[in-house]
Amino acid sequence: MQTDIIRLENEKLYNELYDLRHVVSKRGAQLFAQWKPKIKRSVFIYSACNLAFYLALRCYDLRHLQKALLPLGLSSLGRSEARAIANLDAVMASLGRICGKSQAELIDYPSRSLFFLGDKLLRHNTNLIFGRERIHHTHIMVTLPPEAADDYALVRDLVKAGMDTARINCAHDTLPIWHHMIHHVRCAEKETGYRCKIYMDLAGPKVRISSILVKDTGPRIMAGNIIFMVSGDISDYPREYTGSFVIACSIPEIFQTLKLGDAVLIDEGKIRTVVTSLTAQGAELTVVYAKPKGERLKNQKSLNFPHTPIPISPLTPKDLEDLDFIANHADAIGYSFVKCAADIALLQDELVKRRGPAAYDISIIAKIETSESVKNLPEIIVQAASRQPLGIMIARGDLAVEVGYHRLSELQEEILWICEAAHVPVIWATQVLENMVKTGIPSRAEITDAAMSERAECVMLNKGPFILQAVNSLADILDRMQEHQHKKAPQLKALHIAINTLKKNLPADVDPTTSGQASHH
């Protein structure tokens, strides 16, 4: 009796997986068919196909299937990123044999070469951008300080310690300083025998407070205060405004899309406000959060508009000028403020103007730092990787401000999974070993964070007086962690990114979250 019950349960599970595979194959193929005409790099064709299938698969909550497969000793589907259909086929091939299916009904096991092709492609793409791995699989990127232009020994020692990508932030320093930094990196390569790639970060548009007017002697912002943000000159605020603080935004175009109820975050979210009034002269912002003792309002502090589209180009006039140098010296270009595929196409066109066909040899690193860029991540990947090597940077600081710190923990996992499905390497960035870089002593929390970064293909460290010690420590942590962990087996809850992508690209009458038994929750 018990055996009959188990047999029926296994048969039901097989049928559910069969239905799931059918709909995933159909919808994944539809999505891939829309992407395929724009793919110019043959090496990306399989990756784009796998991404399409993975997005179709992740439209469903598969946790009940994971639980049902575990007692049978089968894969829980939790490592399907790099091989969406092959992983599903391998599970069904074993389950079919457990169920006693006839030879005609059995699904063949995928070949080992096909099953591990995604891992091979991810490793190839990673090495293409960051150079061949040394000992640990995860690469180390270091932001060069200004003194790297004068101190060759510092650059050489960083390369020896494990830096295989040198980051130059074009928001700082000057062209001659960048040139000296690059020269030192190339000399260090020759002396050490280690390859070190040059990554140059475009500054991008900076959304900041451009000027401040404080109308009385109380410079601290408290919850409940009203701040007026002018759309024109700092003195052009309504005469009837009785508050104490007036600010101007460095990007006045924001008033084209700003709406009542939109959030406006100041100084990386230390002051949180909401738009409570809009006039021809600007917007009243009501402070909904500040420290109990208040916060000081300072010029040039950041402004974030997490729910408001910002109608500006991600390439500023300074970026276009810097590209003249970057296009001829950098191995990879960091691209801030990317929101959609059109932004990627804009940079690609500018590179072609400067390098012609050779522009596609330069890697693009798209920085994911807004909720809009997260939502459009699959399209960003396809546009970029269809033409040239692509990496994705999880800019955790800006992203946390935009989406909230609680949501960040979830989103960084989703980004890692989506990128692995496309065989695109990921850079784990922002505040990695920050305390150690600044003081020489790490906190326990940042050691744990550094250990978790092994799941990405590259980790970025910022500059500081103890950067060399931090690189040595990070290299040691990564060496240890790769013995215990490679990526991470996730719980397969439906991904909003996957659902949104298929809704945008499939016929209006197709609901990607329903497919008979596959939609079971």
Residue pLDDT, tens place only, 405-433: 888 888 999 999 999 999 999 999 988 99
Q: Find out whether 12 and 517 touch, Cβ atoms under 8 Å.
A: no
Domain-located, residue 516: no
Q: How far apart are CA 162 and CA 130, in angstroms?
A: 12
Give whole-number Cα distances, 446 to 137, 431, 435, 451, 455, in Å.
20, 8, 8, 8, 15
Q: How far apart are CA 216 and CA 261, in angstroms?
A: 27
Q: Find out whether 205 and 316 touch, Cβ atoms under 8 Å.
A: yes
Domain-located, residue 200: no
Q: Find out whether 251 and 309 touch, Cβ atoms under 8 Å.
A: no
The one-character DSSP state at 482 is T
Q: Residues 218, 286: one domain? A: yes
pLDDT over threshold 60, residue 489 = no
Region of residue 324 (phi > 0: left; psi between -120 and 50: alpha; otherwise: beta): alpha
Domain-located, residue 127: no
- pLDDT, one tens digit per residue, over 75-127 is 778 889 999 999 999 999 999 999 999 998 899 999 999 999 999 999 999 99
Q: Residues 406, 470: one domain? A: no
* pLDDT reported for residue 362: 97
Q: Find out whether 75 and 84 touch, Cβ atoms under 8 Å.
A: no
For helices 2-35 and 45-57, what crossing angle results, to 10°? Answer: 130
Q: Residues 243, 319: one domain? A: no
Question: Residue 299 burial (CB < 10 Å; 0-12/13-18/19+)?
Answer: exposed
Domain-located, residue 517: no
Last residue of some domain: 283, 304, 325? 304
Domain-located, residue 126: no
Q: Residues 150, 115: one domain? A: no
Q: Residues 288, 326: one domain? A: no
Q: Residues 81, 154: one domain? A: no
Last residue of some domain: 304, 321, 341? 304
Q: Give the CB-side neighbour count of residue 257, counting CA atoms within 13 A.
A: 13
Q: How far apart are CA 43 and CA 118, in angstroms?
A: 11
- pLDDT, one tens digit per residue, over 460-484 is 999 999 999 999 999 988 888 876 6
Strands (E), 197-350: 197-201, 209-214, 220-221, 226-230, 245-249, 263-266, 271-279, 282-289, 295-296, 303-304, 332-335
Q: How far apart are CA 146 and CA 154, in angstroms?
A: 11
Q: Residues 295, 340: one domain? A: no
* pLDDT reported for residue 521: 37
CATH label of the domain that carries residue 260: 2.40.33.10
pLDDT over threshold 50, residue 520 = no
pLDDT over threshold 60, residue 491 = no
What one-letter code names the amino acid at 375?
Answer: K
* pLDDT reported for residue 401: 86
Q: Residues 300, 370: one domain? A: no
Overall average pLDDT of the 379-386 stretch: 98
Q: Residues 321, 418: one domain? A: yes
pLDDT over threshold 70, residue 518 = no
Q: How far apart are CA 189 and CA 363, in angstroms?
A: 20
Structural domain that includes position 468? 138-193+431-484
- pLDDT, one tens digit per residue, over 19-71 is 999 999 999 999 999 999 999 999 999 999 999 999 999 999 999 999 999 99
Token match 């401040």: residue? 212
% of the chain residues with pLDDT over 70: 95
Q: Residues 14, 72: one domain? A: yes
pTM of full prediction above 0.75: yes
Q: Residues 17, 113: one domain? A: yes
* pLDDT reported for residue 243: 85
Q: Residues 27, 72: one domain? A: yes
SS3 224: coil
507: closest CA among 22, 25, 27?
27
Looking at the structure of the chain, the number of domains it has is: 4
The one-character DSSP state at 274 is E
Angle at 494 between CA 491 and CA 499, to 5 degrees: 150
CATH label of the domain that carries residue 410: 3.20.20.60
% of the chain residues with pLDDT over 90: 74
What's the whole-number average pLDDT of the chain? 91
